[in-house]
Chain A
């Protein structure tokens, strides 16, 4: 009898190994839930990108047309043209076009002819009025518009002839972002070195949260401060002509970026093993030498990651640039105004006709921004891996 009893207990004990996930149903459930949540995050990013790309697609496919003067299609020729031609001519979306009845199309064609007739005669001869300014050559190359004495890159999306040259916006973005980073990276990394390596514990306890508190300041507040105070102070120092310019915007942007870079760089520097520091000090290095020559190189992957993140924040920051300067002048000078891509989207999206050429081009800019951030992150990741492998002695 006792034998049998023991046998049964053993077999019961081993039964457990066949229960699989049922053994810990709550853990299983939690795991699946977290998986779904993370999946949805990836899905969100993908959906946003698809949305932006879809709205921008007509620009890439050349389906947008801004030409004022077009060869009119007489309403009677309705049947002679293909649906695609008519759709493009009437600037309709495929869905809209599919819903239209023939009589409606006819009315639209009549309206179009009337509109063409209303264009003044002298304007009709202007070559710019016949140009489709959403073609790539107008978007990227300087063009000699009528009334100008030399080719120029102009972003002027409102007006009779809409000028969509995106080069001033790209240059503006680059100018502001680079100034911001040039200002922020040395300060933030320097502060991170000081706080993590040189400061006494008491100072560190105060300095670290204070600098990180900067990131809690809304960018509107930074913008107001830059607009009212910094612009005047900097003008007093550098004596440039335009009070509100890319330089001021870049410095203000730097303030927004510093806490981001500082926080990550500080973490990277602090996580350098204390054994390195001790080794250097025992060799007779001073604390400065240790920080600069041993700790900083060892933390370089992290510091670089911080810089890449700062770049992402800087290129995406809208409000500060919008408030400080937003004239879309084509100039490489930092003391001229600048208009960044994000600023342009924020300021103009509400006024752009839904589905119109301006709207499409704004989305195209959004897609560009998306690509720029994506590529910078990819390059950053690649470089960080190279650094890490080099430090760890892997090839």
Chain B
């Protein structure tokens, strides 16, 4: 098992993959993924930086969510999935034989498309992950829970009803609770799979503000269908098309001056 996935101190090198090159934190190298016989990801190589928001965009079925789920090995749960290539986070190969997925998922949190708070109280929702990772004392729990709810911009709305069911919250509040739950255990990376696609514009705006806020502390990878959203919140954007990485560059470049014709067609709304 990896002793500790200390990020930092990854030697600067000339990236094999395209575009933005500071110190790569997540190194995806020649990754192909098969569902049974069909190949969902085709030889993808891309390096993501630390404390930066990277957006994965592309039409449905292009493999962006699949790649996201490779980063915390959620694809392991699906039968008949096979992965080739290597993914390193903070210099550690997360598909190495001795990796403990539980430790990995503690460091790589995830927020899903549909908000999925547990059918427990608001307090218990956040406490669950903390307890899993050894925070037991009531006072520690209380402070960590308040902290993460503050950070997820939810504290003011729920502080008087921490012990009522999380399912009584609105959709946007539920999603922010899920974010609070993910950041409570202090991961290094947060994966977001279309976190605002089921929300109304106001709730979406709040989530977006939150993401901009969180990038100070976390490396964020977000999958989105909404190109304006990608333009608003991300620093780097990767465009996928039918299992291939078409282009990876800074968000400004992708949206103003893409190198590839297909990227331009997609971001200008000609297809997808």
Report A's interface with B, CB cutoff 8 A.
201, 273, 275-276, 278-286, 289, 293-294, 297-298, 390-394
- Given A391-B167, A392-B167, A393-B164, answer yes or no on A281-B77 (Cβ-Cβ < 8 Å): yes
Asked if residues B119 and A282 are in contact (CB atoms below 8 Å), the reply is no
Partner of B116, one of A275, A390, A393, A394: A275
Please measure, in the bound complex, the distance between the C-alpha atom of A273 and the C-alpha atom of B167, giving whole angstroms. 13
* Interface residues in B, total, Cβ within 8 A: 31
Report A-chain residues with C-beta under 8 Å of the C-beta of B74. 278, 281-282
> B163-189 CB contact bits vs A (8 Å, 1 = yes)?
011111100000000100110010000
* Secondary structure dominating the interface of A: helix
**Chain A: minimal CB distance from B122 (Å):** 10
- In the assembled complex, 13 residue pairs joining A and B whose CB atoms fall closer than 8 Å, in A order, are A276-B116, A278-B74, A282-B74, A284-B103, A284-B185, A289-B132, A293-B128, A297-B120, A298-B119, A392-B119, A392-B167, A393-B164, A393-B166
Whether B132 pairs with A285 at a CB distance below 8 angstroms is: yes
| Known contacts A281-B74, A283-B105: A393-B129 contact under CB 8 Å | no
Give the shortest distance, in Å, between B20 (CB) and chain A (any CB).
Answer: 27
Chain B residues with Cβ below 8 Å from A393 are 164-169
Q: A283-B106, A285-B102, A393-B169 are in contact. List 12 more A-B contacts (CB 8 A).
A: A278-B116, A279-B116, A281-B77, A282-B72, A282-B110, A283-B109, A284-B103, A284-B105, A294-B118, A298-B118, A298-B119, A393-B164
Of the candidates B118, B181, B182, the one having the most CB atoms from chain A within 10 angstroms of its own CB is B118
Inter-chain contact count A-B, CB under 8 Å? 74
B79 contacts the other chain (CB 8 A) = yes
Residues of A within 8 A of B181 (CB): 279, 283
**Any chain A CB within 8 A of the CB of B206?**
no
| B114 on the A face (CB < 8 A) | yes
Determine whether the beta carbon of A201 is less than 8 Å from that of B165: no
Q: How far is the CA of A394 from the CA of B182 in the complex (A)?
A: 25
Binding site for A on B (CB under 8 A): 72, 74, 77, 79, 102-103, 105-106, 109-110, 112, 114, 116-120, 128-129, 132-133, 164-169, 178, 181-182, 185
Q: A215 → chain B, closest Cβ, in Å? A: 29
Determine whether the beta carbon of B112 is less than 8 Å from that of A283: no
Contact B133 A284 (CB under 8 A): yes
Q: Select A297's contact among B109, B119, B164, B169, beta carbons within 8 Å.
A: B119
Residue on B with the closest CB to A275? B116
Complex alpha-carbon distance, A314 and B106, angstroms = 45
Question: How far apart sit A282 and B128, CA to CA, in the bound complex (Å)?
Answer: 12
Q: Contact between A273 and B116 (Cβ–Cβ < 8 Å)?
A: yes
On whether the beta carbons of B119 and A283 are closer than 8 Å, the reply is no
